[in-house]
Amino acid sequence: MVSTAGSKTRNPYLELLRPEISDMDLALPAASALLASYIAMGALPALFPFIIAVIGGYAAITSSYVYNDCCDIDIDQINLPDRPIASSTLSQKQGLGYAGFLALIASVASFYLNPESFVVLVIAVTTISIYSRFAKRLTFLSFVPVGIAYGLVPVGIWLAFDPAGILKGSDGVILPLPGIFFFIMMCVADWGFTLSGVARDVEGDRARGAPTFPVTFGVPATSKFVTLCWFAGVASSIIIGWTAHLGPLFFLGAILAGLWMLYQSFDFIRNPTPKRGGQLFLQGSRYRGVMFGSLIIDVILSISFAEYVSILW
């Protein structure tokens, strides 16, 4: 999990939420909820639970951003000195309180939707907190828990609309194939996403003794590993569409956006610099926004078309 540049707003609390990548952070829970409901019931989810899921998912994701800023003050003072907490616009105590408030919103939302979702949230928050508080300063594999935590977000949302039944009598399927590949796609792609930003921050991490992947192996090696991660992520997104029997709109958006993302990743290999890593980090958000958006539109149109046909017949 890395801080971002270029998110200047007049409100430091809003800036902590990384508004420049909010398209990705809002589209992820929305796409997860719609796909789960589509697979489980062949229908759109009820509006109120859907809104709660999107708000809760967004709060869960952004709480990790704020907590990370609280743990990375010394590093951000080198890499991104204008960040609200690094610049002392907000205190660490204020940041921790804000992170806790967002986590509380996510907790209430997840417990309301399904206690199974709440359990997943607790695991995800614990995992990402381990990264922010400890792993980044200890091992070059610190990116691993970030991907796992982010991959658990769609799992928690999915269970809100397609419960595993563990707490209310199991139906034998904890998570269907599209849900499993959703987790894999988010987890592996997020390794590439995160390491792109970490490559940008390599000098600050090196100065503060954080043995991140780019510090340990260099930015050129990181760019190659990042490209492998994005290739696996793009491939997994196509498998999601195949296993969920999605329509041509999803595949068109996912394939075109995926090819664009892979082109940008190969450009990072050709230009393995911290600056290019930072650019790829933001481009990764754009890719996810388009891919999730294609899924959302495809599912809504597919369900609407099926309902229209049923009315005609």
Report the 3 state secondary structure along 98-134.
Answer: HHHHHHHHHHHHHHHHCHHHHHHHHHHHHHHHHHHHC
**Confidence (pLDDT) at 169:** 47
Sign of CA dihedral 200, 127, 14, 118: positive
DSSP 188-241: HHHHHHHHHHHHHTHHHHHHTT---HHHHH-HHHHHHHHHHHHHHHHHHHHHHH
**Confidence (pLDDT) at 306:** 66
Measured CA to CA, the distance from residue 309 to residue 249 in angstroms comes to 19
N-term to C-term CA, the chain = 51
**Confidence (pLDDT) at 5:** 54
**Confidence (pLDDT) at 9:** 55
Instruction: Kindly report, residue by residue over 232-284, the tens digit of the pLDDT.
Output: 999 999 999 999 999 999 999 999 999 999 999 999 999 999 999 999 999 99
What is the Cα 63 distance to its own chain's centre? 12
**Confidence (pLDDT) at 87:** 93
Spell out the domain ranges in the chain: 13-165+172-304
**Confidence (pLDDT) at 3:** 56
**Confidence (pLDDT) at 304:** 83
Cβ–Cβ under 8 Å, residues 68 and 58: no
Fold of 13-165+172-304: Tetracycline Repressor; domain 2 (1.10.357)
Instruction: Give me the residues of the chain with pLDDT under 50, please.
Output: 168-169
